[in-house]
Structures are given as C-alpha cells and as structure tokens.
Amino acid sequence: MKIHDLEKNYRHSPKKSKIFDLAIYFIFATTMILLSPLIFMLVMRFLNINIQESADMTKANQSEINITKARNYSYVEHSIDLGIIENLDYKLVTAKVTDNSDGIFLCSEVRQGDSLIEILRILKVEREGETKICNTSLSNRLLQKIRAKEYSYKDYGDGYIYLAGNEYAYLFDLDDVSIAERYSFPQEYNIYHAALSNDRTMTALATDRGLFVDDVSGLTPPKELISATINVSGVKTLPKNPVWSVNDEYIYYTLYADTYIKSAGRTPLSLGANEQFAALENTNFYVLNNDSIFYYHSANYHTSFENLFRCGYFNVTDRKMTDMIKSQIYYFDIRVSSDGTHLAALSYNGKLKKISVIDIKTKKNIYSALYDDIYEFEFSPNEKNIIIYGVKSGIEDLRIVEINWEEIESSHN
C-alpha cells in the first residue's frame, strides 16, 4: 500500500463520524417530538396537583387563623363530711379525687392489742355518698412514706390506682376498693420512688445506686439505666421522681445533686442513651400526658419583686422553653393538670392561704378560695375535678370542686 492511500483513508474518517452524529441527533429529536404530548400532560398534571394542594393548605391555614377557641367555665363545689372518716376511727392523711368525682382517702388507724400499732387504711367516698373500705390494711412503713411525701401514686383513669412505697407497691381496683396486684421490690436497693409503666409490665426504680427498670414478673434482675455518681467534693448525683412516657419508650426523671435540682432528663430502656435537659436546671417541673414538660419557678418574695413566678411549657424535641405566665404573685406550692391545661397554686393573703385555679393559656382565674391552712390539693386525671383538704374558718374542710367548660368557636374575617 502506498503512503498517499493511507493519507486518503485518514482524511475520509471525520466525514463518517459526522454522518453518525447526525443520525443520533435525528433519532433523539424525533423521539422527543413524539413524546412531547405525553411529557406536557404529565407536567400539567403535576402542576395542577401542587396548585390544588397549595390551595387546600392555604384554605386550611386561613380557617385555622380565622377560628379561635374560647372556654366558658363554671364550677360546682360539694363538701365531704369528715364525720364519715372519724366514725370509722380513722385519721385522714391525704386525699385524692377520681374522674367520677369520688374521693380516695389514705388514712391511719390505730389498733390496740398487746401494743398500739398504726396502719394504713384506704377508703373511697363516692359522689352519691356511699363509702367503700379496702378490707386489707397496709403497713405502717408505707404510711410513714405517705406522711413524708416519699411515695408514688398514680390514677390510671380506668378504675385502677397505683400506690408504692420503698418496699411494696399495690394496684387497687376502685370498683370494690380491693388489691388487684401486689408488687415487691429487691431488698438490696434503697428505693426512693417506684413508678409503674402505663402497660403495667415494668417498674422504674429510683434507688441510691441510680435508675433501674424492673420487670414486674420478677423473672429477671433489674436493669441499670443511669448510675449514681459521686464527684471529688463528695456530692452525690441521683436521678429521682421517674415518670413514664405515654408509650413507655422513655423514663423522665429529675436529676439531683444531693438536695439541689441539677436538671431534668429522660432515658430509653437501654444503657447509655440518656439525655439531659440543661435548660431546666434548678427548675421545678411536671411531665405532661403529651410528653412535654410543664416548668415553673417561684422566687422568694423577700428577695425580689420582679417576675416572682413564671411558668410555661418545655418542648423536648427542639429544647424550647415557652413562658406562659409571669406574675408578681409568689406561689409557694403548685399542681398542674395532666394535660397542662389548668394550674392550681397556693399563695399568701395576709395570714390566710389562697388557692387559685387558672387556665394557663388564657390566664383566666376559674376558681379561688381562702383557707387558714391547706394540707392537700390535687387534680383528677381528666383535669375536671380538684380536691382540697385544709382548715377553713377554724374547721377542717374537705371538698371537691367540679370544673365544667364548653368550647366556643368564633370566626374572624
């Protein structure tokens, strides 16, 4: 082959490449032209769906903005005759109230035998006046824990209540005020608080060693979740006051450094995944039914006259605190309803003690009364009843306040 023949072939190869490229472009252009109606329909359908969704969302948001909910409140009081308890030779220690406005009373009874012994008795006084007594008496050690307010109590709202000390716990059937379940705790632990889970299969134990979770079956030993720690100065840090989340996935707790509240926290049922909410340092709080936290702080009125009291909600997810009430009133004791709707707070009115029930979001005062002294006050699980036990005009007074409300919707254009 001659040299000029090779040069001739080389010169013609670019022309073949261009012809091939033109063929590819032609095929692609033809395909796009054929598919263009289908692509157009898909694009329009997509745009139409999104426009419709945006319109629906805008309409919903406008409806939400234009409709505001208000509550009209009313209440009814009815007193409970303390003579019912006295005639049984009982002495009232503390009082609770159910969703049905029935009073649950933890009382002491002194029995005489070879020696005097004081025991715990439980009775229910129904709204209609019928009295039911638990046939089983409970130990003096549990009674002492109740007096010292070192016990756990939970009304499940389904006809059962849970009561625990540091040795034993009980689940009571309120229908006939009888013991449905009895739980015992490991004797090698010094237990501060014991909280039964919502499904009633596990118990959270706050002990001198830390926080543990225990299966109520007793087939396995308690599992440690958080260990107690002691720093170089000898300060012991302990989680106490365990509260189960709604789905029983977490246990909320208060972290103490000796007697000082260091922070709040929560832990799943596994070691090492503990998280603390530093924003709640040195703040008192309650865990609500929706797993958010109601917090409050009340300063001593002798040292400050600004923002003596503040309260609000702490969102666990974004760690955000939202103040709801700031007041110059010094509230020295607080209760909050289970969903964080109502606040019951004690304040001083001269030599008297005043109880106020407040709608937290609207700051509306629903109910207030003056007492010489107030021993106990507590909401029912459904937030609609509050029981008050104290001294009024020199006489011991026990009453239930039934709070009623109706939602009113008003639209604004």
DSSP 71-90: EEEEEEEEE--THHHHTTTE
Residues 283-329 pLDDT 10s: 899 999 888 999 999 987 666 666 689 999 999 988 999 999 999 89
Q: What pLDDT, on the 0 to 100 scale, is given for residue 291?
A: 85
Q: What is the residue-averaged pLDDT of the chain?
A: 85
The CATH number covering residue 318 comes to 2.120.10.30
| Domain assignment present for 142 | no
Q: What pLDDT, on the 0 to 100 scale, is given for residue 277?
A: 92
Global confidence as pTM: 0.79
pLDDT higher than threshold 90 for residue 28? no
Q: How many angstroms separate the CA atoms of 105 and 183, rounded?
A: 21
Torsion angle of the four alpha carbons 210, 216, 217, 223, in this order, in degrees rounded to the nearest 10: -20
DSSP state of 222: P
Residues 67-108 pLDDT 10s: 446 778 899 999 999 999 999 999 999 999 999 999 999 999
Residues 331-359 pLDDT 10s: 999 999 999 999 999 999 999 999 999 99
Q: What pLDDT, on the 0 to 100 scale, is given for residue 278?
A: 87
DSSP state of 62: H
Residues 121-143 pLDDT 10s: 999 999 888 999 999 989 899 99
* Cα dihedral across residues 206, 208, 212, 214: positive or negative: negative
pLDDT higher than threshold 50 for residue 53? no
Domain region containing 300:
292-413
Cβ neighbours of 275 (radius 10 Å): 12
Which of 11-20, 96-105, 106-115 is modeled with the greatest confidence? 96-105
| Domain assignment present for 321 | yes
- Give me the mean pLDDT over the 370-383 stretch: 96
Q: What is the domain count for the chain?
A: 1
Q: What pLDDT, on the 0 to 100 scale, is given for residue 50?
A: 44
**Residues 263 and 321: beta-carbon distance below 8 Å:** no
Q: What pLDDT, on the 0 to 100 scale, is given for residue 1?
A: 47
- Among residues 299, 261, 300, the alpha carbon closest in space to that of 278 is found at 261
| Domain assignment present for 317 | yes
| Domain assignment present for 11 | no
| Domain assignment present for 343 | yes
| Domain assignment present for 371 | yes
| Domain assignment present for 220 | no
Kind of pairing, strands 365-371 and 373-379?
Answer: unpaired
pLDDT higher than threshold 50 for residue 17? yes
pLDDT higher than threshold 50 for residue 270? yes
| Domain assignment present for 50 | no
